[in-house]
Amino acid sequence: MQHDPEQISTPPDGRPMSEQPAWRQDFPIDTPQDNYVARRDFTKFLVVTSGAFVAGQLYVVAKSQIARDASALAPQRIASIADLPVGGALTFNYPEPHDTCILLRPDENTLLAYSQKCTHLSCAVVPDMKRNCLNCPCHEGVFDMATGHPLAGPPRRPLPLVHVERRGDELWATGVEVRTV
């Protein structure tokens, strides 16, 4: 029988390692062989992780394609101007029924609308008219009311801006602008 010089221990049946079952080759007794197999298998695990990242990238590509196709939004009536007093706020759904937005009227001539979902973990933001900001109660995120940009707390991205148009006495939402900075 040919002896493998790299093999320190001998399997119980005396046959070379190449003829041993897979489990014995994957869990060798000899330390140098164990080191080698452990590094090789860790490399294999990293390649599987690499495949998972590619799957994640393809998911983002698919979501981007869907979002791009749906970027042209139909205008939608929100409310009458009489429904919104100065210093008041009301919620509405745009563009889809489950997308909650908030319309604000801090003064007579200013109308602001944002998505109500916090850009941190999607909790609903609440307006604070006295401080001119929008607060997220979940993790104490604070957004500037005039711009929708984050001022404090964990959120890093501004709130999506909803474009509002005044048509006579009616208020209409005409589009959503998602922003990175």
Partner 1 sequence: MSTEPHPKFFPREQRTTIVYGILCTVLILVILQLWLLEATMNAYLGGDYAAAWPAAVVSILCLLLNIGLLRYIYSIERVNP
Q: What is the binding site for partner 1 (CB under 8 A)?
A: 4, 6, 18, 32-33, 35-36, 39-40, 42-44, 46-47, 49-51, 53-54, 56-58, 60-61, 63-65, 67-68, 119, 157, 160, 177-181
Tokens of 180: 């990175």
Cβ proximity to partner 1: between 57 and 91 the closer is 57
Cβ proximity to partner 1: between 106 and 144 the closer is 144
Distance CA 133, CA 41 (A): 53
Phi, psi dihedrals of residue 167, rounded to the nearest 5° = -115, 95
CB of 55 to partner 1, least distance (A): 10
Tokens of 177: 């602008």
Cβ proximity to partner 1: between 23 and 53 the closer is 53
For residue 156, the surrounding DSSP H or E stretch is none
Phi, psi dihedrals of residue 155, rounded to the nearest 5° = -65, 140
Q: Helix and strand tally (H, E) in the chain?
A: 2, 10
Distance of CA 147 to the CA centre of its chain: 22
CB of 6 to partner 1, least distance (A): 5
Tokens of 152: 């404090």
CB of 181 to partner 1, least distance (A): 8
Cβ proximity to partner 1: between 65 and 91 the closer is 65
CB of 99 to partner 1, least distance (A): 14
For 41, residues 6+ apart whose C-beta sits below 8 A from its C-beta are 26
CB of 62 to partner 1, least distance (A): 9
Cβ proximity to partner 1: between 40 and 166 the closer is 40
